[in-house]
Structure 1
Amino acid sequence: MTDASLPWSHAPVKVGLVGAGPWARAVHARVLAAGPETQLTAVWARRAEAARETAAPYGADVAARFEDLLDSCEAVAFAVPPSVQAELACRAAEAGKALLLEKPLALDLPSAQRLVDAVDTAGVVSQLVLTSRYNPATRRFLAAAQGVDAVGARACWLHGAFLGGDFATAWRLEHGALLDLGPHVLDLLDAALGPIVRVRGTGDPRRWIELTCEHASGAVSQASLSGSVNVERGITRIELFGPHAELVYDGAALDHEESWPVLRREFATAVRTGKSGELDVHRGLRLQTLMAQALEA
């Protein structure tokens, strides 16, 4: 695991931010500007006033055009809807920029594949913002999971953000919990129990969807996903079962502030070494493929 407390001996990576919504302001701009591994150089958004509000606290420039943003940085972070990300990230890759991408990569599998092809053709670094994966507690859980012979698992990812508020956005309300929460759940189940070889989905992603996953190990996992239920606090939980004692992951108890220094250090390290890590665009494509399979079922 990356030790984000060690001194950073390289020049900070100059990062331009695409997007100026609540998530961009609360996470991307703040985390990238904190350094020392990265420097927020500019912000571009379709709403110029929102871009100014996002950039101002950190002394970053406001790019008048997306092309101007590309001219000001060596890496681009995205905090926009998946359809917008899929289009603009291809252009950024073609311009030779490293990519810090949100999940899902795109709204559909063909668009995600085009983005992967653009990244591979350009040979640029990519990294996916799967928030919990950069948390030390999550990594301890995944390390522990490698030492148990799990035959089954249950997962539950529930919240009420789609009922109203900043994150009840158009793409989330249209496509539901599978595209929003599915990448997190499928990624962790795949990492904890071994590769998922088949996934089936039942229900309505806009209300409640159940996933049943078959793993190469022979294990079977099930996951309940919803963003449209009234719960006092989000429920983010995975339980692994087998001949061993139950192994539990409680994501709701995580301090997400512990994730950001690790994410920032690993992205900057990837850019400086020219080598993407495990959580790159190809990981995003695998998760997109699994979600497409669930929708087909």
Structure 2
Amino acid sequence: MERDEHAQPVDVGLVGAGPWAATMHGPVLAAGPQTRLAAVWSRRPEATAHLAARLGAHAATSYEELLDRCEAVAFAVPPDAQADLAPRAARAGKALLLEKPLALDLDAARALADTVAECGVVTQLVLTKRYHHSTRAFLAAAAKFTSAGARARYLHGAFLDGAMATGWRLTRGALYDLGPHLLDLADAALGPIEELRAYGDSRRWIELTCAHRGGAISQLSLSGAVGLASSQAGIDLYGPAGELTLDFGPVDHRECWPVLRAEFAAAVRSGVPHDLDVRRGLMLQELLARVSAPHGGR
């Protein structure tokens, strides 16, 4: 009997062995059935070996070895490391499951997107909220809702202490880690963002004011440094018909991950680009760069 290639799980190599790799990428990809975690590699051999053993995957001793063992690569590393490593995987013909932001600077993000286009590989972004049924229902309703404006927030205290209070998140986390979620949702719900102004400090609190094509205005509040008992996150649209609300603070991310995994595997097997691919990531990176520019993008 001829083997049905589309029914075979996609062999994925995981780059990274930190908290996000250990709690999300690794377990989700290992759970299948659409994917199989073929190998793990990070720059910390002990962490690599521990995570690989826990998930029943091969512990690669080099990035090249990981690439040899997989057909797709998932990245759970800081943005600057992703921007360095992902183009090498694309040149090796591997599909890419990318984190946001793509990089810490626009030039590196553009270089990654250019390499992907050159090599013609499938890409997909881990914009977690987009894979939840409530977000998809909200965006479907937003397409029929006339919006005058919107308010959105993503507020928590995870950058004050704990596993996420490290490295780039301490200085850029509110904007570069939380910002892509709200910018993506505001852009998807109200139309393309044409003007952007920013106020505040990404280490404490930052406010983004967006002018959308068609005239709607959105206000986005971001902070990872406020002591809250639980995350406050969501977006509210306002218009002549009233209000349309998405509250993703209480959303269980475990409901998003099987959808993300299935859609990534389907994109890899079909070769059809996912809607949330590197091009979407580059658009968000361009918005982040405008915020980071002198005078906060004004």
Q: Which category of TM-score, normalised to the shorter sequence, fits these structures?
A: over 0.9
Q: Deviations over 1:226-280 (max 9, x none)?
A: 1111111011021100111211110112121111111001100000011111100
Report whether the alignment pairs 1:148 with 2:145.
yes
* Equivalent residue, structure 2, for 1:240: 237
Over the aligned positions, Cα root-mean-square deviation in angstroms equals: 1.0
Report whether the alignment pairs 1:113 with 2:113.
no
**Greater Cα offset, 14-23 or 169-178:** 169-178
Is this contact kept in 2: 1:132–1:259, CA < 8 A?
Answer: yes
Structure 2 counterparts to residues 39-58 of structure 1, below 5 A: 39-58=36-55
Is this contact kept in 2: 1:200–1:295, CA < 8 A?
Answer: no
Partner SS state of residue 272, structure 2: coil
Report whether the alignment pairs 1:15 with 2:12.
yes
State which of 46, 54, 59 in structure 1 corresponds to 2:56.
59
Whole-Å Cα distance in 2 between the matches of residues 56 and 132 of structure 1?
29
* Equivalent residue, structure 1, for 2:259: 262
Q: Deviations over 1:113-160 (max 9, x none)?
A: 000011011100000000000001110111111111000000111010
Structure 1 residue ranges without an equivalent (≥5): 1-7
1:174: Cα distance to partner?
Answer: 2.1
Q: Deviations over 1:3-40 (max 9, x none)?
A: xxxxx961000000000000000000100001110000
Whole-Å Cα distance in 2 between the matches of residues 56 and 37 of structure 1?
21
Whole-Å Cα distance in 2 between the matches of residues 109 and 219 of structure 1?
26
Is this contact kept in 1: 2:6–2:269, CA < 8 A?
Answer: no
1:176: Cα distance to partner?
Answer: 3.0
Partner SS state of residue 242, structure 2: coil
Is this contact kept in 1: 2:72–2:97, CA < 8 A?
Answer: yes
Partner SS state of residue 110, structure 2: helix
Is this contact kept in 1: 2:153–2:222, CA < 8 A?
Answer: yes
Partner SS state of residue 64, structure 1: coil
Report whether the alignment pairs 1:25 with 2:22.
yes
Is this contact kept in 2: 1:44–1:65, CA < 8 A?
Answer: yes
Is this contact kept in 1: 2:109–2:285, CA < 8 A?
Answer: yes
Q: Which amino acid aligns with 2:250?
A: A
Q: Which amino acid aligns with 1:253?
A: P
Report whether the alignment pairs 1:86 with 2:55.
no
* Equivalent residue, structure 2, for 1:76: 73
Q: TM-score normalised to the size of structure 2?
A: 0.96
1:58: Cα distance to partner?
Answer: 2.2
Whole-Å Cα distance in 1 between the matches of residues 151 and 175 of structure 2?
16
* Equivalent residue, structure 2, for 1:4: none
Whole-Å Cα distance in 2 between the matches of residues 99 and 176 of structure 1?
23
Partner SS state of residue 252, structure 1: coil
Whole-Å Cα distance in 2 between the matches of residues 212 and 263 of structure 1?
30
Q: Deviations over 1:29-56 (max 9, x none)?
A: 1000011100000000111110111111
Whole-Å Cα distance in 1 between the matches of residues 255 and 227 of structure 2?
27
Count of residue pairs the alignment pairs up: 290
Report whether the alignment pairs 1:198 with 2:195.
yes
State which of 255, 270, 289 in structure 1 corresponds to 2:286.
289
Structure 2 residue ranges without an equivalent (≥5): none
Is this contact kept in 2: 1:212–1:220, CA < 8 A?
Answer: yes
Q: Which amino acid aligns with 1:286?
A: M
Whole-Å Cα distance in 1 between the matches of residues 127 and 188 of structure 2?
13
**Percent of aligned pairs sharing the same letter:** 61
Q: TM-score normalised to the size of structure 1?
A: 0.96
State which of 146, 170, 173 in structure 2 corresponds to 1:173.
170
Q: Give the 4+ runs in structure 1 shifted more than 4 A.
A: none
Q: Deviations over 1:202-243 (max 9, x none)?
A: 111111110000000210000010111111101102110011
